Structure 1
């Protein structure tokens, strides 16, 4: 795996969430077993999870107590970093707290120099900043079987085109398609 992979759930028409941040993309998925198995295997090669503040808050409310979920042990054990200019601490239940950094680009550049393999989950503003700075090596999309019509797009309005090269794809139960791209 390359240095940094950004992973997103997305609608077939390119939206990460509804107009008001609704999670309709997730609600459209009837079976998460393939994505859980995929990420369980993927996390064996990951050194760090990088999150934005909002995604961190959502994850920290769920994962520390989700002991019966297939990925919980790995998610809770991996070092986590939260990109935020407002947080001073980022607890993770009874597990090691996440590190807080103000700038995702500076952080990833430093981690890359140390050979750290990082995954960004959700965290749209963090992902977009890293894409704009050329710091994303791979983009992995889990396409849910829903068209939203409007909402939060993958790319920021006015963003430069992003050349991608398909490196892997799978069709999963429930109509989900996994697409892995090399960036650049």
Structure 2
């Protein structure tokens, strides 16, 4: 059975987006080489990338044309099959790479089916609304949280008003030269 890993970049005060819906608090990738190497190793354990529509639209503007000389994870990220959850998109092209598959309807049921398949694990990047729905349905197995050294002062929180405790087990902590701290939790 596959695990679903949620990977989110958050401000120090817990926001996945700032008040304006922006992600400007992410560190520059040029200064982020150590975490990029860790991300490249992580991608070897993944055979499916899940995205919501908004995150797909952000990613598709950059990643399909990115090259390994600028982003060392580019070829690996681009070659992994992707699924976009959307009730509005019909197609999800990915540049010269194979198109992402578009799934509409009940994302929770689709994710349950995907988790039952054999293979490597899956990662959900960003896609905060989808992530929150999957968290509510207890479909997230692990959390990779990248804490950026910025307080956003408001925005969209990863864990908004949970009605019960979510107990997590810390598995790994890493600190990068950008000031980003990586936290790996299992449910």
Tell me which interval the TM-score lies in, with the shorter structure as reference length: over 0.9
Aligned pairs, how many? 183
Distance 2:181 2:170 in 1: 13
Q: Does 1:182 align with 2:186?
A: yes
What is residue 25 of structure 1 aligned with on the other side? 25
Counterpart secondary structure, 2:178: helix
Equivalent position of 1:71 in the other structure: 73
8 Å CA contact 1:90–1:100 kept in 2: the answer is yes
Q: For the structure 1 residues 12 and 63, does the alpha-carbon distance in structure 2 shift closer, same or farther, using more than 3 Å as the test?
A: same
Q: 2:85 & 2:35 partners in 1: Cα distance?
A: 25
Shift of 1:122: 0.5
Select which of 110, 120, 143 maps to 1:139: 143
Deviations 1:115-138 (A, max 9, x none): 341000100011111111111000
Distance 1:143 1:160, change over 3 A: same
TM-score normalised by L of structure 1: 0.93
TM-score of the superposed pair, with normalisation by structure 2 = 0.91
Root-mean-square deviation over aligned CA pairs:
1.8
**Corresponding residue number in structure 2 for 1:34:** 34
Return the offset for 1:30: 7.3
Tell whether the 8 Å contact from 2:2 to 2:117 is kept in structure 1 after alignment: no
Matches within 5 A, 1:107-122: 107-116=110-119, 117-122=121-126
Q: Which consecutive unaligned segments of at least 5 residues does structure 1 have?
A: none
One of 145, 167, 183 as aligned partner of 2:171? 167
1: CA distance between counterparts of 2:76 and 2:146? 20
